[in-house]
Amino acid sequence: MLDLLWLVALLPFLGAALGAVLGPRVDKRWTTAVALGAPGLSLLLALGCIFEYVRNVSPEPFQSVCYTWSAAGFDGYMAHEGGYQRFFVYMNLFMGSMLLLVLGSNYLVTFVGWEGVGLCSYLLIGFYYEEKFPPYAGRKAFIVNRIGDFAFLVGLFALVSRFGTLDYRTIFSAVAASPEAMGEPYLLGMSFAGFVGLCLFIGAMGKSAQIPLYVWLPDAMAGPTPVSALIHAATMVTAGVYMVVRSNAIYQLAEGVSGLVAIVGALTAIFAATIGLAQTDIKKVLAYSTVSQLGYMFLAAGLGAYSAAIFHLGTHAFFKALLFLGSGSVIHAMGGEQDLTKMGGLKERLPSTYRTMLIGTLAISGVPLLSGFFSKDQILAAAWGGSKPLWVVGWLTAGLTACYMTRLLLLTFHGEFRGSEEQREHLHESPPVMTWPLWVLATGAVVAGYVGIPRLGQFDIHVFDRFLSPVLLEVGHHGEAHHASVAVELALMAASVAIAAAGIWLAWKIYGAARGLEGGRGWAERYPAVHRALVNKYWVDEAYDATVVRGTWASARGLYRFDAGVIDGLVNGFRHVTVGTSMLSGFFDKYVVDGLVNLVGWLTQAGSRVFRRLQTGLVSQYAMVVVAGMLVLVFFVVLFR
Amino acid sequence: MLEVGTTHYLVLSFLLFAIGVVGILARRNMITVLMSIELVLNSVNINFIAFSYQLGDLTGQIFAIFTIAVAAGEAAVGLGILLALYRLRETTQLDGATEMSG
Amino acid sequence: MGAIEPREFLLLAPEIFLAVAGMVVLAVGSIGRGLAHRTTALISLVSLAVVGALVLTVQGPAVGGEAILAGMFMIDGYALFWKGIFLLATALTIVLSMRFVEEGGYPAGEFYALLLFATTGMLFMASGFNLLSIWISLELMALSSYILAGYFKRERRSNEAALKYFILGALSSGILLYGISLLYGATGTVQLTELAARLPAAMAAEGMLVSLGWLLLAIGLFFKVAAVPFHVWTPDVYVGAPTPVTAFLAVGSKAAAFAILVRILYQGLAPLLVEWQIVVAAVAVVTMIWGNLAAVTQSNVKRMLAYSSIAHAGYVLIGVLAATEDGLWAVLFYMLAYSFITLGTFATVILLERREYAGETYADYAGLARRSPFLAAMMLIFMLALTGIPPTGGFFGKVYLFAAAVQSGWTWVAVVGVLMSAVSLYYYMGIVVYMYLRDAEDDTPTPLPSRLLAGAIGLCAVITVLLGILPGPIVELAKASLLQLP
């Protein structure tokens, strides 16, 4: 069965090719059959492989991840059954690349998959290419990712130059064999492990939307909702986490960089969570929530709790896909409306969506016995063992998460309906084809946590740890983080439950019952400073921004424009130095990127025109060219003979 | 008396070649161009015969005979194309045949 | 020169058979006017198959290398490989032509007969081992091609194409011949091995004659492979000629010219290696730059393909210039892959040509993905292959060529090749953009008028992709078909 593993990745590619060939004129049922059949088969194979793997442990872990992804992908398709053939082709292509990424046994194959999913993400964000914004968002995602990919590549180059191979096992066993060599100074005052780790982490920052490269993810919500669910919440964005965990042998030897990973993760987590508190676009809330949860995973990875990171990745895939698909159902019912302030009281009209989203919200908030509780608890336990300040940040974030998710739920489903009459007429529960996946994912969101029930003292039934053990080498001297005592563990659990409850309670207090938006407004008036900080929650960003862009962004046009400002502003800062002129961020794209491209294009075209002008159409002039060419050659050969 | 050696033939053949090439370049009448092509091929023949004589080797003469045959074939094809050109445009001038360029 | 055994003529049975078959087709075509279209095409295809079998059975055993008819011809693995390419290319060209010829309303027998004659010339070229036999075969191919280019004789553009091709072809032929005559004068032979043996001495005695001689000879060959600046005929002829003929010229003619170019340079001019390498390098670089740049602003697809074929000649010249085993088999592999890719591309263009010259501009490809997803997908594969993107044969072809150049120390030439490949992405993907992202004026589905033609396109695409996934067997075959290196 494991011999057939390559088929798992190939099938979606075949599906994509077939879908592309079949084209849009073919009956929709065929397209659907191909689109679902290929990954379906692939899923079955993967399941077979996992079964095989569990029976006789061989060194091909991570299929559980791939299974989760396949499942989520499957559901994504179902939800978008009304879509186009193009959509399915991209999706299959994405599936193939993603599987390539996780199944690859060396960095190169992983990188191919990495770029593949990046491309698909770009294509899918810009899926509605006739509108103005999506293509822009797609480009932004692509360019921001490119920054990370560049660092990733540099890291790969360093690995190749040291080991002569990119094969995981070879590299990791070489690393484990001589940890001292990895610690020697290498470049820029860093050790080799540190340099490679940093490069790989910058790559991961781009793909997994960490500070400061997170800005593309909120914009990526311009794509179709199932895409948001599948790619920008459950699968692709976690690739960075996967990669960092996969490279754990290197990170274990690079304590400084690991610390950086943890800090960046924690900061991203709380930073994005605060942003999530004040968003009014339902998908944006979920996007920032995703960024925040990814931060959690990096926090865990940075602290050496690799299996906790992957565990949270898995559970998160379930409940975040669920929440996104649920939001898709809501948006569908609202006729395309995404603004929370226009919703409210949808509970009765969308019962299935409501219930499943409630489950998802509880799961992500860390309510006991749901999946999010277990995985988050593991991360927090690791943080407690690693660094108390980071634990505090993580703990606060858990509360914030509960708060903004509850707020989302309340604003959407409770209170009075605030939309137009037309929308009220339009309200309806989504068809079963959209609600079924919701229930499937909801089930997952409930039970997925039980593969990783925490160890309490002697009670070690952590299946997940053992599943991952082949990749988690013990390198270096410090070993696995010390395990907290049962009492501490229980206390930590209690603390996280308490903060989650507090978050939910706070949200209820503000937005609950019939208060709805009014409650929020009341609080805003009572604490104007806090409110301002939350609405302009880019405070942190603004400070950062001002140092780079020098106040160009005084009048940011809405939150999205603000995000654009950071990265574009950075680039402008460079131009400031080199060109001596400061310009608005949008100009960067227009004049530098496009300008360079245009210059090359212009030169090419100019050359082309010159060559074309020589082609006059007059045969005697052609003969002249031939003879002239002959004479030139003769001249040179005779001259240099 | 001047001894006529291989070099003289080479100069003659080169001149014929040059005249032929210039004819192809400069003339706008297809018939003249065809004649110029014949000149070029015949200049080669002179080369072959002269070398053959100088080297005492028959290959050059054989080559020349083949060249003459091929030149005849070439002329036939050229005239065929010329005929088609005349039927289409009622002229044997090449200037008009510039529909395609660039 | 010993006596010539009758057996040696037998070894040429495939070529002789094909020449006879051409005459039979000519006769059948002029007798049965009404039903001649299908019959002549069928006869041609069958005789090509027979020739293929003959090549394998009669010439196959001599694959180790056997010079026959007093060193006029050489039967070796190298010749056989090229003959395979020529026969496949001609057979596919006939399949592409059938509907086209039928609709054109011109006598079909002549068309197929000329194709067969040209192919005969090409087969002889592959085996040619004497500048005389090589030149005669070259002329046989060229004269047939001139007529084929003007086959639509009541069509102004077709006639103009023939005219330009003929005049420039004759000029180049004269230049080539002049070069041969000088080489003959300096060495006293036109047989390749003897030439190579006598060249060092001749260089010392008659250096100027030799240098001018080989250079003019090479220029004549550069003209045939459409290398810059001797490419000027290509765009106009490719656009004006009937499209199947264009395909034939772009594949068959070019391949045959490369076959003799390599043989002459490697075997006849081996002692001049250093001299011709520089010239070939210069020509290759200019060819790649000019071909790719000029293709960028074209609006006519056939014209773009003409410049693309010029550019590809440049890539192949890189392999020729390496003068190593790796370079040589890379050239063989590339020409095989290129043949299928190009034939497939032109077949797609042919399918789209509904009226005389429609379907030629980029704009005619707008929304093709909607009108005919099959054709669009096929075209996509071919465009990827021409650009050199995996998994297509074009990718490996280019990799092998560039790698060979780098290994033999011509890195800068390979770098130009890579850069220019990037430029080529622009115009190849232009078609893809039109096909997939632009809307057509009318959305009516394009019918597939001929299943045979569609089959041929599919076949080319499959082979293109196969070569990109499993290049191994063909590489092995090419490695078994090498010449002795200079």
Of the candidates B24, B95, B100, the beta carbon closest to that of A623 is on: B24
In order of A194, A342, A421, C398, C423, the CA distances from C338 in angstroms are: 47, 60, 64, 10, 18
- Sequence-distant (6+) residues with CB within 8 A of A348 are none
Instruction: Report chain A's mean pLDDT, rounded to a whole number.
Output: 72
Range of lowest pLDDT (A73-77, A109-113, A176-180, B23-27)? A73-77
Q: What is the pLDDT of residue A2?
A: 56
Neighbours of C49 (CB within 10 A): 12
Identify the pLDDT of residue C315. 94
User: Which band of pLDDT confidence, cut at 50, 70 and 90, is reported for residue A76?
Assistant: very low
Q: DSSP label at A617?
A: S
**Max Cα separation, chain B?**
56
Task: Please work out, in degrees rounded to the nearest 5, the angle formed at the alpha carbon of residue C350 by the alpha carbons of C80 and C452.
Answer: 70
Q: Which of A406-420, B60-74, C50-64, C153-167 is predicted least confidently?
A: A406-420
Q: How far is A22 from chain C, CA to nearest CA, in Å? A: 6
Instruction: Give the H/E segment covering residue A187.
Output: strand A185-187
Which of A66-70, A563-567, A598-602: highest mean pLDDT? Answer: A598-602
- Which of chain A's residues have a Cβ under 8 Å away from the Cβ of B97? 619
More confident residue, C181 or A9: C181
* Segment among A124-133, A398-407, A489-498, C335-344 with least mean pLDDT: A124-133
Convert the pLDDT of each residue in C430-444 to its tens digit: 888 888 888 777 667
| Residue numbers in A near C168 (CB within 8 A) | 619, 622-623, 626
Contact yes or no for A629 and C164 at CB 8 A: no
Asked whether the beta carbons of residue B98 and residue A616 sit closer than 8 angstroms, the reply is yes
pLDDT recorded at residue A78:
43
Selected residues 10-49 of chain B with any CB under 8 Å from a CB in chain C: 10, 13, 17, 20-21, 24, 30, 33, 37, 40-41, 43-44, 47-48
- Tell me, rounded to whole angstroms, the distance of Cα C318 from its chain centroid: 16
| Pairs of residues, one from chain B and one from chain C, whose beta carbons lie less than 8 Å apart | 124
pLDDT, position C249: 94
Compute the radius of gyration of chain B from its Cα atoms: 17
How many beta carbons lie within 10 A of that of residue C194, not counting itself?
A: 15
| A147 vs A353: CA distance, rounded Å | 38
**A612 CB near a chain B CB, below 8 Å?**
yes
Q: Measured between CB atoms, does C284 come within 8 Å of chain A?
A: no
Fold of B7-89: Helix Hairpins (1.10.287)
Tokens of C215: 């250079």
Residue C312 included in any domain:
yes
Nearest chain B residue to C142 by CA: give it: B74
Residue A464 in this model has a pLDDT that exceeds 60: no
pTM over 0.80: no
Residue A561 has pLDDT above 60, yes or no: no
Q: What is the pLDDT of residue C147?
A: 94
Per residue in C326-380, pLDDT (tens digit) is 999 999 999 999 999 999 999 988 888 764 555 678 888 888 888 888 888 999 9
Q: What tokens does A625 get? A: 């060219």
Is the confidence at residue A183, as pLDDT, over 90? no
**Chain B neighbors of C293, CB-CB under 8 A:** none
The size of the A-B interface in CB pairs under 8 A is: 28
Least confident span in A525-534, A566-575, C86-95, C117-126: A566-575
Question: Is the confidence at residue C255, as pLDDT, over 90?
Answer: yes
Neighbours of A367 (CB within 10 A): 17
Does the residue C443 lie in any domain?
Answer: yes
Residues on chain C bordering chain B, Cβ-to-Cβ distance under 8 angstroms: 132, 135-136, 139, 143, 146-147, 150, 153-154, 156-157, 159-164, 166-167, 170-171, 173-174, 177-178, 180-182, 184-185, 188-190, 235-236, 239-240, 298, 303
A119 or C125, which is more confident: C125
Residues A25, C290: C-beta atoms closer than 8 Å: no
d(CA A604, nearest CA chain C) in Å: 6
3-state secondary structure A10-36: HHHHHHHHHHHHHCCCCCHHHHHHHHH
- pLDDT tens, residue by residue, A208-246: 888 777 777 777 777 777 777 777 776 778 888 888 888
Most confident of A209-213, A553-557, A587-591, C241-245: C241-245
Residue A541 bridge partners (DSSP): none
Q: Across residues A384-401, what is the average pLDDT?
A: 84
A267: confidence class by pLDDT, cuts 50, 70, 90: confident
CA distance to partner chain A, nearest, from residue B93 (Å): 11
For chain B, the first-to-last Cα distance in angstroms comes to 56
B68 touches chain C (CB under 8 A): no
- A184-203 b/e (C-beta count within 10 Å ≥ 16 → b): eebeeebbbbbbbbbbbbbb
At A70, is the pLDDT very low, low, confident or very high (cuts 50, 70, 90)?
Answer: very low
| Cα(C150)–Cα(C226) distance, integer angstroms | 19
Task: Identify the weakest region by mean pLDDT among A29-38, A331-340, A391-400.
Answer: A29-38
> Does residue C158 form part of some domain?
no
Show which subunits contact B, needing at least 3 CB pairs below 8 angstroms.
Answer: A, C
Percent of chain A having pLDDT more than 70? 67
| Count of the separate structural domains present in chain C | 1
- What is the residue-averaged pLDDT of chain C? 89
Record: contact C163-B94, CB cut-off 8 A: yes
Confidence of residue A565 (pLDDT cuts 50, 70, 90): low
C46 within some domain: no
Tell me the average pLDDT across C274-295.
91
A548 pLDDT higher than 70: no
In chain C, the residue whose alpha carbon lies closest to the alpha carbon of A16 is C377
| Chain B stretch 8-67, residues whose beta carbon is closer than 8 A to a beta carbon of chain A | 21, 24-28
Average pLDDT of span C136-160: 92
Whether A429 has a pLDDT exceeding 80, the answer reads no
Chain B positions touching A624 (Cβ under 8 A) are 25
Do residues A103 and A5 make contact, with C-beta atoms less than 8 angstroms apart? yes
Domain that holds residue C323: 274-486
pLDDT tens-digit profile of C35-66?
577 888 999 999 999 999 999 999 888 888 88
Q: Which residues pair with A454 in a beta bridge?
A: none
3-class secondary structure per residue, chain C: CCCCCHHHHHCCHHHHHHHHHHHHHHHHHHHCCCCHHHHHHHHHHHHHHHHHHHHHHHHHHHCCCEEECCCCEEECHHHHHHHHHHHHHHHHHHHHHHHHHHHHCCCHHHHHHHHHHHHHHHHHHHHECEHHHHHHHHHHHHHHHHHHHCCCCCCHHHHHHHHHHHHHHHHHHHHHHHHHHHHHHHHCCCEHHHHHHHHHHHHHHCHHHHHHHHHHHHHHHHHHHCCCCCCCHHHHHHHHCCHHHHHHHHHHHHHHHHHHHHHHHHHHCHHHHHHHHHHHHHHHHHHHHHHHHHHHCCCEHHHHHHHHHHHHHHHHHHHHHHCCHHHHHHHHHHHHHHHHHHHHHHHHHHHHCCCCCCCCEHHHHCCHHHHCHHHHHHHHHHHHHHHCCCCCHHHHHHHHHHHHHHHCCCHHHHHHHHHHHHHHHHHHHHHHHHHHHCCCCCCCCCCCCCHHHHHHHHHHHHHHHHHHHCCHHHHHHHHCCCCCCC
